[in-house]
Chain A
Amino acid sequence: MPQPILSIRDLHVSLRLGGTEHDAVRGVSLNLNKGEVLAIVGESGSGKSLTALSVLGLLPRGIAAISSGEIHFDGKDLAQASNAELDRVRGSGIGIIFQEPLSALNPVMRVGDQIIEGIVRRGEASRKQARKMALETLIGVRISDPERRMKQYPHELSGGMRQRAMIALALVSNPAVLIADEPTTALDVTVQAQILSLLKAQQKSRDLSMIIITHDLGIVAEVADRVAVMYAGEIVEAGEVETILSRPKHPYTLGLLSCLPEFSDGGRRLAVIAGSIPSLTESVSGCVFKTRCPLYMQGPCDARIALTSGPDGHAFRCIRPIGSETPAESEQTRHA
């Protein structure tokens, strides 16, 4: 098996809230293989964005920091790298696009200049060459009237075009990996479809390895090869997208699926995962999902649960996974 292009091992990220430190990402390990699309799925508070930001050292300074763990890329451990070393990786090694282009793009700089500035600063090309590269990339992201767009400011572009500009900005230096943090959440559904198809096309044509962070399982199904489900700072399930979305083993994944309108068959009511995610200040002993899990069993679920991996790469953190019980046992659970 070839080495994964990006490997995160036992990552811990701490968050400072009101003077105290909390573990917001706890022991996350992920491998991204070359040419594959990995989705990280979770709701608010799952730690998915923090995980993505920590790869490129983009955690908000003073508030969040990597407390332990390794991030291997191109022979280096990014978790230990200095800002100068990370700077060399950003853009040409790993690119990143964010949810809100309005706040990710500099509002007082023309779009073209922003793209060119990065190239020139990294010493990859002269200004003239950089301009050519920027134009080519903008054409590649199918932005309309690219010459004109280069001279415009971000606020003059529509939401979809801004997102394309951000994608161009991230891809212009041909990075090997692209991290997309909720790239379509702020967009209308028709624009979202276009951006997703653009990302897929770019990923194929550049043989990019991509990490896409989202809360939308539909996007996962459409774009990703593998998926990792995060809850309260931990990975609770990971594996091939087709397997996870049709035969999930962890109750939380099942819960996420069952809450979708597609699975509310019969009545109009939607399923709900009772309770709410434990706050950062509460410490939960054992399974972090136990306060909301209908399969919770006092005793076994109160002890720390490790990630179990199957031979097909399907990993889950549960001692009573879906499908492991006999029908008789299921009935018993239902009436408990």
Chain B
Amino acid sequence: MLDLLNITRRYRVSAGLLSTRILTAVDKLSLSLRKGEFFSLVGESGCGKSTLARIVCGLEAQSEGEMRIDGKTITGTAEFADKGLRRRVQMIFQDPYSSLNPRMRIRDILAEPLISLGWGNAQAVQTRVAELASIIRFPDSALERFPHQFSGGQRQRVAIARAIAANPDLLICDEPVSALDVSIKGQIINLLLDIQEQLGTTILFISHDLSLVRKISDRVGVMYLGSLVEVAPAQQLFADPRHPYTRLLIESVPALNGKRREEQVLAAGEMPSPFAIPSGCRFRDRCPLAFDRCATEAPGLQPVTSDERHLAACHLRAQPAPRPAERPPVTIPQIDLFRTAAETTTP
């Protein structure tokens, strides 16, 4: 569905009165997404995941590298002027308070992509708007209202409806639930899962929430300072992380049961400035396993075993992760009380 080959994105940043510096936000990134898969991209701020999202959906052009969407090669933003292609890739943004035009009614927000991308005549557009409204559980009266009359979660549902209006093949979600309360996140996530399962849409899900990503993704990719450092099927990535950065991330997440290993987390220091990326392996100045080869030779993203699906950019990728102490699973009485409610309303 999506092929990225050595995608690089550089920016010129002014650094003082007359000088400029080059910021490499994405560095020779290669990735392929299968049709209909749910792929999550995780990383911390500055890793380039949002920049990559903007490149894939045509808001920015890559500086170098090849991008193919369903076989069609894309060199920059020009190809997206073709409405046929424009229709196929859509994005959902992080901030529900700035992703909808405050001066447009919900009905018009939903109809706009249909009109612009040539869905059909006025009647067809209205029918589709009604369909979308029912998918996100918005009654007719709500369609006449403006975004500021709705909560963050509700606005995000509108954003999703607008994004899937013209049936895109690839849906990019840039931290769609990060700004929402815990009890509301599920609405959006479940809706996205429905879209993937029922419409066969490929989903590229960008997030920093590891526990969420673990549960909902087919595959997960970890980014650090502009590069992919590990890619694997979700369960495998968390059960047997082969890159030290992935292990650091997993270890840093506060868990409900068991305490974490402090020393490892504390010794990891701070992320280096993107202007001063270390030579060789970019993670080596924070890595507990770094040795001399790491400074001279940058490890490529290679399979960790004969199984091609798990890749890691580390010279020591063949060593499995040290088994963490078994954390007892937490069982809470009646924990499915809200689950039953959720299941019955899935359309």
Q: Report which A residues bind B (CB closer than 8 A).
A: 43-44, 144, 158-161, 188-194, 196-197, 215-219, 221-222, 245-248, 251, 254-264, 268-274, 276, 294-295, 322-323, 330, 334
Contact = CB atoms under 8 A, between A and B. Distances in A.
Contacts of B271: 158, 188, 190
Interface residues of B, number: 54
Contacts of B181: 43-44, 215
Chain B, interface SS category: helix
Contacts of B185: 259, 270
B44 A221 contact: no
Given A217-B182, A254-B335, A261-B211, 5 more contacts: A144-B270, A194-B266, A222-B255, A247-B332, A271-B339
Contact of A192 (B184, B216, B252): B252
B212 interface: yes
Interface in B259-300: 259-260, 262, 265-266, 268, 270-271
A259 B183 contact: yes
Interface of B: 44-45, 151, 153, 181-187, 189-190, 193, 208-212, 214-216, 248-249, 251-257, 259-260, 262, 265-266, 268, 270-271, 330, 332-343, 345-346
Given A254-B335, A258-B335, A294 B44 contact: no
A158 B270 contact: yes
Contact of B333 (A160, A197, A247): A247
A251 B336 CA distance: 11
A260 B341 contact: no
A256 B256 CA distance: 12
A270 B189 contact: yes
Contacts of B332: 245-248, 254, 257-258, 263
Given A217-B256, A262-B330, A189 B337 contact: no
Contacts of B341: 271-272, 274, 294
A110 to B, nearest CB: 20
B256 A269 contact: no
B190 to A, nearest CB: 5
A256 B184 CA distance: 10
21 contacts: A158-B270, A188-B45, A189-B44, A190-B265, A193-B254, A193-B260, A215-B181, A217-B182, A219-B254, A221-B257, A247-B333, A254-B338, A258-B337, A258-B339, A262-B211, A263-B335, A269-B190, A269-B193, A270-B342, A276-B184, A334-B340
Contacts of A215: 181-182
A22 B44 CA distance: 39
